[in-house]
Amino acid sequence: MAQGEAATSAPIRIGVVGVGVMGYNHARVLNDLPGAQLAGIADPDVVQRGKVAAMLGCPAVADVDELFALGVDALVVAAPTHLHHDVAIAAIAAGKHVLVEKPIAPTVAEARAIVDAAERQGVALMVGHVERFNPAVEAIKNAIRGEEILSIGITRVGPFPPRMSNVGVVIDLAVHDIDLICHFTGSQIAEIQPQVKAAVADREDIALLQFRTANGVLAHINTNWLTPFKARTVHVATRNKYVIGDLLTRQVTECFDYKPDGSYSMRHLPVAYAEPLRVELTRFLEAVRGERGPAVSGEDGVAAIATAIRCLENFPTAKSVADPTPLRVVAAG
């Protein structure tokens, strides 16, 4: 085998920074992902990192510098959001490829700094908007391809998560769907009309968000932490069809062939079986190897957090401040 072929086939050594719920799942998938080698995990919590290391049989260290010493090619940054900037910048400066969990950073300025640093260093940067890799999302995207999209409605609700303390539903939940709106429409959000409220929590726990994309699609997101059960649904109306997707059960239904009497045809669309996180990490490996660009770019991540922050501009407990952007905010009412 030629030297170049050997280098190409060598597994990519990846470290995971932060092994809470999401970080553990990244490490679990990487530990069994073809083309990847889980080089180690880093977490300041000695008990948590020890527990994860014992389950996965991988090295565990306290910080990112010790992780670099293990000889990693790339990092997954799954630390708390307020640490994303510092960890990602350190990794990029060390020449490591980076996947940063969503949101990319707590402010637009920090998000842009990460993107600019990756561009200067020439490393792959991907943002972990994992919902894009949900097979139901892919089925919806395929169903509306080539269609004139008229409107999108997304509901993402559930009970209050005990793990959450420093952000509300817009940053934790709605940022997924802000990204999905851009993904489905192939456009950016141009106008927003947000309604947010803190009903039982210190941060906003109810948000009704309305948008218009640059290519004219109307969209809305309904999200809260007050619903006693989880629901994740997407409704897309196009000129010729209406597509309904349940992102939890992964069922996608298409209504079409409307008749003057109000009748229509309906069919269930095939949805592939896949673990979204596994697909996401596979796409990250492809970006690291230079086989294709990052599936969710740094610019995608900046756009999502910029819109989310704009939705909170007039909410009294919002602490992140976005840089000026061409996004236009429409006064509610």
- Domain ranges within the chain, ordered by starting residue: 3-129+286-295, 132-277+306-329
The residue-averaged pLDDT of 207-225 equals 98
Per-residue confidence (pLDDT) for residue 167, from 0 to 100: 84
Q: The pTM is what?
A: 0.90
**Architecture in CATH of 3-129+286-295:** 3-Layer(aba) Sandwich (3.40)
CB 326 within 8 Å of CB 316: no
| Span 78-122, pLDDT tens digits | 999 999 999 999 999 999 999 999 999 999 999 999 999 999 999
pLDDT single digits (tens) 31-60 = 999 999 999 999 999 999 999 999 999 999
Joined together, the tokens standing for residue 99 give 């996947």
Q: Which of 9-13, 103-107, 204-208 has the lowest mean pLDDT?
A: 9-13
132-277+306-329 — its CATH code? 3.30.360.10
